[in-house]
Structure 1
């Protein structure tokens, strides 16, 4: 599948739109975005980014079909302001100059999934949490498996940092993009946090 590629060049102001920017009225605009770990596919509603997945995870068509059913909106291959901002922030994240995303997001999970995803956003850059720790934070100490399922259902890779969730023994556990990518993201954050803050990070995991 050939998708439009986001250039990564930030918009200067609203009146100077990218020539291919879509108005995104009652639809989801999607395109490929680039990363050092491989191409990703991203989509956005008029409210914000609604999915960001690795291009090789389960097949692009399958991902798009799930998103279309979840949001009940048609899909359009195009570029939007949200997608341009996302690519720019991803570039900065992988360059080690950005620790928190500011691009708007538009999540649409179950009530429990939304609660878990909100808690994932509270995990600081270059830190990790176990599934059990997240369950405790939610006041549901016996729900670590349910937390794991919600974590695996996260459609916004990297932006909602499900890669920062590990097992209680410190080992890495399943990640949609693969454990090599998960390790890369954690190592990237650890290295840049230490460099930028000149202090020891709390990242800790075992292979």
Structure 2
């Protein structure tokens, strides 16, 4: 989500004036209707304070907004095929559904054909779209701080049951009686690098990730199953603490996090994560060096996998690990974020000397 006020006002002017030069440059999400549009949408223009702006459609979906039916923002500048239109319509009718090859065949289409047409039209795979839609429904209630899952949002969702089902399939059903099951709380945290999601109880932080991270839905489900927990929107003293520390971190006022965390992984993964914590801010290490330090010099690939399995972004600094060649390497939150974090910590380190 775009936070810069100057850019937001520029994009709002483009939206009001239906400036075609900005089509595909940003997507405008309307809080009062729950939809997102491209710059030349013919619909009545909303007030500035009711608009959010995103650089890509997937981020808008993850924030819980659905494509506007008037301007079809995901199809711009392409024309949607009848097959893709039908698939999108079915996703909106049943957003919690997990599609299989048989579902495409029911539509009279080969799965590969349907997926190819979808990718050509939307610039993202069908799996990415469907997952982002499900996650968006769940994350929307978290972003708005909803306490009760079945409180229907005013954003105009087509199906209240779809909202509830999508939330509960990812986060787990709410406990019938207090103490019947573990309860963890999810909180939306806005940062300079985009929104993050924290999941905690009153003792530990279990997950901290950027909401657009690839595979976040699977991470949440894995956490829920391992802790035998349901996850509800809300905050704890731990979520408040990590939000405060993140704000200080991004303001160059904190580099060592004190929030209590819980490592949910294998013994090998924990060994790798503890090694990552020893990398000083402003410095980097390599997968090969980490493997050697933990006594498995031939386990470079395993170290890379453990690095990618980290569920506590920034706190466990997997972004400080690069390739032996000096290349920056991958990062679950995106290579651009990784480079930003490294630059940020390098600058902070210099100021701290």
TM-score over 0.5 for the pair? yes
* Deviation of the 1:115 alpha carbon: 0.9
Specify the alignment match of 1:64 in structure 2.
Answer: 220
* Deviation of the 1:59 alpha carbon: 6.1
Specify the alignment match of 2:186 in structure 1.
Answer: 30
* Deviation of the 1:98 alpha carbon: 0.5
Kindly indicate whether residue 249 of structure 2 is the aligned counterpart of residue 87 of structure 1.
no
Alpha-carbon distance in 1 for matches of 2:197, 2:204: 15
Instruction: Pick from 130, 143, 160 the counterpart of residue 299 of structure 2.
Output: 143
Which of the pair has more CA radius of gyration?
2
Specify the alignment match of 1:155 in structure 2.
Answer: 311
Q: Secondary structure at the match of 1:42?
A: strand
- Please show how residues 39-58 of structure 1 align to structure 2 within 5 Å: 39-58=195-214
Instruction: Pick from 279, 296, 300 the counterpart of residue 123 of structure 1.
Output: 279
Q: Secondary structure at the match of 1:101?
A: coil
With the length of structure 1 as denominator, give the TM-score of the two structures.
0.82
Q: Secondary structure at the match of 1:32?
A: strand
* Deviation of the 1:63 alpha carbon: 3.5
Which structure carries more relative contact order (alpha carbon 8 Å, separation 6+)? Answer: 1
Kept in 1: contact 2:183–2:230 (CA 8 A): yes
Pick closer, same or farther for the CA change 1:33–1:99 going to 2, 3 Å.
Answer: same
Q: Secondary structure at the match of 1:27?
A: strand
* Deviation of the 1:60 alpha carbon: 5.2
Kindly indicate whether residue 349 of structure 2 is the aligned counterpart of residue 193 of structure 1.
yes
With the length of structure 2 as denominator, give the TM-score of the two structures.
0.49
Kept in 1: contact 2:184–2:201 (CA 8 A): yes
- Please show how residues 101-120 of structure 1 align to structure 2 within 5 Å: 101-120=257-276
